[in-house]
């Protein structure tokens, strides 16, 4: 009788441990590919460039991670050294993944690092670049190739799923500067910087069952605008990934861009600075990897929505004529195109389908937004859902800047003229920040996330 009781107790004790081990075991598939154009093409990000690319500082990459939780639910994250995925390309990729794997948009993230040293893509920022017929053909051909390359990489990753453990934590790097609140030429003499920032470096460590490092997912909220040269590169995020893959041979480093719409690396404009910032970011990641990180249970919850963001009334024909006569560059081209389309009776949209997304991987919350999101959104989400939350931007669709309400009121590049860069018919309507944050809160409720119970003043 005693022996039966002892065996029963042993079995009882063993079951929770086995379940706990299974609860922490993901399956993961990884793949990557060089995506550097082989033909000289126009580079994305700056209107001031006058020729196509002439060299290569380092290769551009697309990288894919497919995750499967203990229930069999699968997710895919694509990171890439591009300015961002245009809506039509993103929609086609996600539609194909739905057809092939049954994945809905909530299970897919397509993130661009927003490097300004990558190629122009089709149907993105055409008013900004003086593209001739030959360059337009190259852009079309490359964009079609890139789209297929991403799909192939997803297939390769999906075919190579293996058991893995995930853990997460946040580090810190401090080369990000609020570019609206600080004049670049005055940075060296300033003793304190102004404006909201987010110096967090979110890190996810992916290991095999034996504890060998397989991949590193990390992010930062800072424009990759160190370089404005004519050589392909991933800018500082590219150098950070190179550095991490040197530190951890055989590991795939994946960078995602954060809410960096109003954040720049300063000082900038030299190759040594791009390398320095890359090493600084890699060092922040390295520190996190060597400290204790929180294991992520193998459970995935996802939610996705596209909300209508209304545009403000478009400029009148009189205002557009004035802009066409007085402005130059992309503003002139935008005003002339708008005038032509008004004359032709073309009706412009009054709102835009803006993508928002929430992932919960184990304990880790990941908020994902489209467009060039300004840092106020990241800070608001972290205040509401916890400072350890990860915030991605420039995902699934980069249609323009997403200013905070204050920036929209103040105007300037992020709040006004950048919308012309992207070819939008007008600026955003007032109330944009509340609309987006309210919608994200509703999306979080779909997967049973609740805001933190923050103490009231005086408690």
The helix/strand/coil state of 245 is helix
Distances (CA, A) of 165 to 97, 170, 205: 25, 17, 8
Could you give phi then psi for residue 77, rounded to 5 degrees?
Answer: -120, 125
Q: Which two tokens stand for residue 324?
A: 């066409």
Contact 376, 414 (CB under 8 A): no
Establish whether 58 is an annotated binding residue: no
- CA-nearest of 359, 281, 391 to 105 is 359
Q: Which two tokens stand for residue 190?
A: 């300033």
Q: Which two tokens stand for residue 422?
A: 């992207």
- CA-nearest of 218, 219, 221 to 259 is 221
Buried/exposed 269-292: b ≥16 CB within 10 Å, e otherwise: eeeebbbbbbbbbbbbbbebbeee
Dist CA 50 CA 120 (whole Å): 14
Establish whether 223 is an annotated binding residue: yes
Buried/exposed 194-229: b ≥16 CB within 10 Å, e otherwise: eebbbbbbbbbbbbeeeeebbbbbbbbbbbbbbbeb
Dist CA 373 CA 45 (whole Å): 16
Which residues are part of a known binding site? 114, 223
Binding-site residue numbers for Zn(2+) are 114, 223
């Amino acid at each position: 009788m005693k022996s039966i009781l002892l065996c029963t107790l042993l079995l009882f004790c063993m079951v929770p441990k086995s379940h706990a081990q299974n609860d922490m075991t993901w399956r993961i598939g990884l793949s990557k590919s060089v995506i550097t154009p082989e033909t000289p093409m126009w580079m994305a990000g700056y209107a001031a460039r006058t020729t196509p690319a002439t060299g290569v500082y380092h290769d551009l990459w697309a990288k894919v991670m497919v995750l499967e939780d203990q229930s069999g639910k699968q997710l895919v994250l694509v990171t890439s050294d591009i300015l961002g995925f245009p809506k039509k390309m993103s929609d086609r990729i996600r539609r194909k993944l739905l057809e092939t794997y049954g994945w809905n948009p909530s299970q897919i993230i397509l993130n661009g690092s927003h490097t300004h040293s990558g190629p122009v893509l089709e149907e993105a920022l055409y008013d900004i670049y003086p593209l001739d017929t030959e360059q337009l053909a190259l852009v079309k051909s490359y964009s079609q190739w890139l789209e297929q390359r991403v799909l192939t990489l997803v297939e390769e990753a999906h075919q190579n799923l293996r058991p893995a453990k995930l853990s997460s934590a946040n580090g810190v790097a401090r080369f990000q500067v609020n570019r609206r609140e600080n004049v670049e030429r005055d940075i060296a003499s300033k003793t304190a910087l102004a404006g909201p920032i987010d110096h967090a470096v979110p890190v996810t460590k992916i290991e095999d069952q034996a504890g060998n490092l397989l991949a590193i997912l990390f992010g930062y909220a800072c424009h990759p605008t160190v370089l404005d040269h004519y050589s392909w590169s991933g800018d500082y995020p590219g150098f950070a990934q190179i550095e991490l893959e040197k530190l951890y041979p055989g590991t795939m480093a994946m960078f995602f861009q954060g809410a960096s719409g109003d954040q720049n690396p300063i000082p900038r404009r030299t190759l040594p600075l791009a390398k320095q910032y890359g090493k600084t970011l890699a060092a922040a990641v390295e520190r996190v990897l060597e400290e204790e990180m929180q294991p992520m249970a193998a459970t995935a919850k996802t939610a996705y929505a596209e909300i209508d963001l209304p545009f403000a009334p478009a400029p009148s024909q009189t205002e557009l004529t004035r802009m066409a006569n007085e402005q130059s560059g992309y503003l002139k081209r935008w005003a002339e195109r708008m005038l032509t389309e008004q004359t032709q009776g073309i009706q412009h949209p009054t709102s835009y389908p803006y993508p928002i997304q929430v992932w919960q991987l184990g304990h880790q919350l990941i908020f994902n937004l489209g467009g060039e999101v300004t840092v106020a959104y990241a800070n608001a989400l972290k205040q509401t859902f916890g400072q350890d939350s990860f915030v991605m931007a420039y995902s699934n669709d980069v249609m323009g800047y997403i200013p905070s309400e204050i920036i929209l009121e103040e105007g300037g590049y992020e709040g006004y003229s950048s919308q012309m860069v992207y070819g939008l018919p007008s600026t955003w309507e007032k109330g944009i920040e509340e609309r987006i944050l309210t919608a994200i809160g509703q999306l979080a409720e779909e997967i049973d996330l609740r805001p933190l119970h923050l103490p009231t003043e005086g408690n």
